[in-house]
Amino acid sequence: MAKKNDIVVEIKDIFGKLTIEDLQIKGKAVFIRADFNVPLDDNLVITDDRRIRSSLPTINYAIDEGAKVILASHLGRPKGKIDPKYSLAPVAKRLQRLLNKEVMFAPDCIGSQVENMVAKMKEGDVLLLENLRFHPEEEKNEEGFSRSLSKLADFFVNDAFGAAHRAHASTAGITKFIPSAAGFLLKSVIEYLKGVVDNPVRPFVAILGGAKVSGKIGVLENLANKVDKVIVGGGMAYTFIKAMGYEIGDSLVEPDMLDLAKKIMEKLRNNNVKFYLPVDSVIGQSLESSSDTKIVTNQEIPKGWKAFDIGPASVKLFNEALQDAKTIIWNGPMGVFEVDAYSRGTYAIANSVGDAYAMTIVGGGDTDYAIHRAGVSDSISFISTGGGASLQLLEGKDLPGISALTDKKA
């Protein structure tokens, strides 16, 4: 991709925390917090293992260095109670296949039984702990629970970018008790997202989509001083269109965001940032497959109809805006792409981003999924599956799971 190597050179020194490569881990127990929050079908079979695969470089490094590898993660929202449908047992099986070696599975994540399993581990062994969120103390970042986790290991390595925006026991609390470092995945995401936003090769274009303006306010305000162009699609676009005085039928709108939408547009205009909204939409009366669809300009969305995707004229407009881009960040789909009738806009933009002669970064679970369904993931410079964490980073906020790690200087 264009300028990719140049950008890596510019951003490679921004990470001021210890990384796993800084640790002397041979013969030591290393607690790696991964993000194995993968989708499962009704038979508890993993339907997408990309989050597991993304942690393999860190896990394999620890194995090759002769560490005793203890893996931990959450899965779903069991709300602090043991629930078999959220067990990490299927992850242990998939990991065993991907690593091509035995992966032991612990029935819990703390306690004497787990400690005994760790004590018997040899160099290069791998142990996966049961779901951290089976304990309510995990999400409460309870100190005693954090201490119990830390007793299992000599070092802590956070490689769960998707959970780095949470101050939980396994992302922040544990760092109070043992030296803590970043894994390869966590480090690379920070370097790409933060590095590119701070030092972009221009023109720099941000594409924002998804349902609501309220979820992207911080991103828009932070990027207003940094980007050259902003493209807005998805449901959030219609709050901006409504704020401009246009009729949007029954399309999604956040009435309490209208004034703020006007202020954001004014701020972008004052900063000479080019701002693009859809000019036409694919509309329907419902998301049912039998529902009729129409393509109309955004001034002609009738009552009783809702916009569910950007239209072909919008696709053309957005594509033209991307033609000269050298850095592109995309977060949020252009419509309800899970429904075939409303998928064309998102997939068209996915192909445009994939074809761009630019550094391209995609953040957020939905956008990541859309990129893969469009078949262009191999053409994207960097894909992050951590939706909430990506947004916080794009807002310019510190992430608790990163700021808690040990500083290199220390």
Kindly name the residue from 151, 212, 294, 397 that is annotated as catalytic.
212
User: pTM score > 0.85 for this model?
Assistant: no
- State residue 4's pLDDT score: 41
Q: Clarify whether 133 is annotated catalytic.
A: no
Helix axes 4-11, 184-198, angle to 10 degrees: 100
Distance between CA atoms of residues 259 and 240, nearest Å: 9
Confirm if 93 and 150 have CB atoms less than 8 A apart: no
Q: Clarify whether 388 is annotated catalytic.
A: yes
Average pLDDT for residues 102-127, to the nearest whole number?
97
166 compared with 137, residue with greater pLDDT:
137
Determine the distance from the C-alpha atom of residue 322 to the mean position of all C-alpha atoms in its chain, rounded to a whole number. 22
Confirm if 34 and 55 have CB atoms less than 8 A apart: yes
Confirm if 82 and 134 have CB atoms less than 8 A apart: yes
Average pLDDT for residues 210-223, to the nearest whole number?
85
pLDDT of residue 364 exceeding 80: no
Residue 379's CB is within 10 A of a number of other CB atoms, namely 16
User: Residue 262, CB half-sphere, CA atoms under 13 Å: how many?
Assistant: 8
What the block records as the tokens of 400 is 């608790």
344 compared with 220, residue with greater pLDDT:
344
Residues 6+ apart with CB under 8 A from 251: 235, 238, 281, 283, 301, 305, 306, 307
Instruction: Give the architecture (CATH level 2) of 20-182.
Output: 3-Layer(aba) Sandwich (3.40)
Kindly name the residue from 294, 365, 373, 396 that is annotated as catalytic.
365
Q: Residue 196 — φ and ψ, nearest 5°?
A: -70, -40
Query: What Å distances lie between residue 152 and 63, 82, 295, 372, CA to CA?
Result: 17, 21, 59, 37
Q: Which residue has tokens 């893996």?
A: 71
Sequence-ordered alpha helix ranges (H) in 124-257 = 136-140, 143-150, 184-198, 217-223, 237-243
Q: Which residue has tokens 């989050």?
A: 51
DSSP 38-55: --B-TTS-BS--HHHHHT
Amino acid 286 reads: S
Closest CA to 289 of 334, 339, 235, 252: 339
Q: What are the DSSP E strand ranges found in 68-203?
A: 68-72, 104-105, 126-128, 155-158, 180-182
Q: Do domains 20-182 and 190-394 have the same CATH topology?
A: yes
Amino acid 376 reads: V
DSSP 281-329: EEEESSS-TTS-EEEEETT---TT-EEEEE-HHHHHHHHHHHTT-SEEE
First to last CA, the chain: 36
Query: What Å distances lie between residue 54 and 16, 37, 76, 186, CA to CA?
Result: 22, 12, 18, 10
Question: What does the domain layout of the chain look like in residue ranges?
Answer: 20-182, 190-394
**Which CATH class, in words, describes the domain spanning 190-394?**
alpha beta
362 compared with 316, residue with greater pLDDT:
316
Kindly name the residue from 124, 218, 354, 388 that is annotated as catalytic.
388
Tens-digit pLDDT profile for residues 24-36: 999 999 999 999 9
Q: Clarify whether 212 is annotated catalytic.
A: yes
DSSP 19: B
Average pLDDT for residues 263-269, to the nearest whole number?
93
Of all residues in the chain, the percent with pLDDT exceeding 70 is 95
Tens-digit pLDDT profile for residues 133-155: 999 999 999 999 999 999 999 99
Kindly name the residue from 33, 51, 68, 229 that is annotated as catalytic.
51
- State residue 5's pLDDT score: 38
- The dihedral through the CA atoms of 140, 141, 143, 149 has a sign that is positive
Bridge-based pairing of strands 180-182 and 155-158 is: parallel
Q: Clarify whether 311 is annotated catalytic.
A: no
Q: Determine the 3-state secondary structure of 275 from DSSP.
A: strand
Closest CA to 376 of 346, 350, 357, 337: 350
Closest CA to 331 of 261, 240, 234, 229: 234
pLDDT-derived band at 395 (thresholds 50, 70, 90) equals: confident
259 compared with 365, residue with greater pLDDT:
259
